[in-house]
Structure 1
Amino acid sequence: MNVPIIAGGCLCGAIRYQATGAPFNLTHCHCEDCRKASGAPFVAWASFRRAEFAFLKGQPARIGWATRIRGFCPVCGTTLTFQTSEDADELDITLSSLDAPAAFAPRDHIWVEDQLPWIKLADGLPRYTRQRTRTQ
């Protein structure tokens, strides 16, 4: 059985990574933390198990607060990763940092209570006021 290898990295190429297998979650996040950290109105994330993910070149700089840790390229500043201490086995990767981001379409929107009022969602995807539960 062939297991897909998914590759990506930052804008300048200082950081490269790969994941083995498909992401188990794909989502658009509208939370204020994601908006502030990325400078974008929302961020699309691909979630992998930590054991399925490896940095091949370089390491992201990390900044943490509360229970959250964000990773970014220390050279160009590209937002790359998100983790929480509550689920250390999960690593979220910015979908746009993948080499082929169009191959993975987000399946829902989370934290829509923080969504900017001028964003009009018309994609028909499920929407969650905050974070979806593990069973959703």
Structure 2
Amino acid sequence: MTELVGGCFCGAVRYLSTAPVIDAGYCHCRICQGTCGAPAVVWISVPAAGFAFTRGNPSAFESSPRGIRYFCPTCGTQVTFRRPDSDEVDINSLSLDDPEAVLPEYHVWINTQLSWFKLQDSLPRYEDDGPDR
């Protein structure tokens, strides 16, 4: 069992995941770029049954019909993402207390990857959601 602990930048929102990690990957979609202000975000998928917020109440934002993003209402850090029809929670890897605890395994939505953002890894790349969606 993998325990992941983290939260927002200011500490008002904290979480704990005791479920095993399903997978982790870079997302290059325009929505992630816009909501995180970064060229890519690494999301870690875990079963929702093993995930809980332990401090604070994040604000929810429906960024598309396919996803709800959860942010700290104080500092604005995006900590999680959830599809309404899914039993998984995606954790923003940089919100972990130890952001090196889980390594990315792939890249998704590379059809909107920024041309100037070059990562020199050999991870699999997918035009859209990837193989497991």
Q: TM-score range by the shorter chain?
A: over 0.9
- Structure 1 match to 2:118: 120
Q: Which has the higher helix share?
A: 1
How far is the alpha carbon of 1:68 from its aligned partner?
Answer: 1.4
Identity level (%): 43
Shift of residue 63, structure 1, vs aligned partner:
0.8
Pick from 17, 20, 26: which aligns with 1:19?
A: 17
Distance 2:77 2:20 in 1: 22
Query: 2:60 touches 2:70 (CA, 8 Å); kept in 1?
Result: yes
Cα offset for 1:19?
0.3
Deviations 1:91-120 (A, max 9, x none): 101000011111211000000000001011
* One-letter amino acid of the counterpart of residue 127, structure 2: T
TM-score with structure 1 length normalisation? Answer: 0.92
* Separation of aligned partners in 1, 2:66 and 2:29: 15
Shift in Å at residue 59 of structure 1? 1.5
Aligned to 1:73: 72
In the alignment of these two chains, the number of paired residues is 132
RMSD: 1.2
User: Which runs of 5 or more structure 2 residues have no equivalent in the other structure?
Assistant: none
Normalised by the length of structure 2, the TM-score is 0.94
Q: Which runs of 4+ in 1 moved over 6 A?
A: none
1:83 aligns with 2:82: yes
Q: 1:2-42: per-residue Cα shift (whole Å, max 9, x none)? A: x3321000000001100003311100000000000000001
With over 3 angstroms needed to count, the CA separation of the structure-2 counterparts of 1:134 and 1:4, relative to structure 1, is closer
Which residue in the other structure is 1:59 paired with? Answer: 57
Query: Which amino acid letter does the alignment assign opposite residue 47 of structure 2?
Result: R
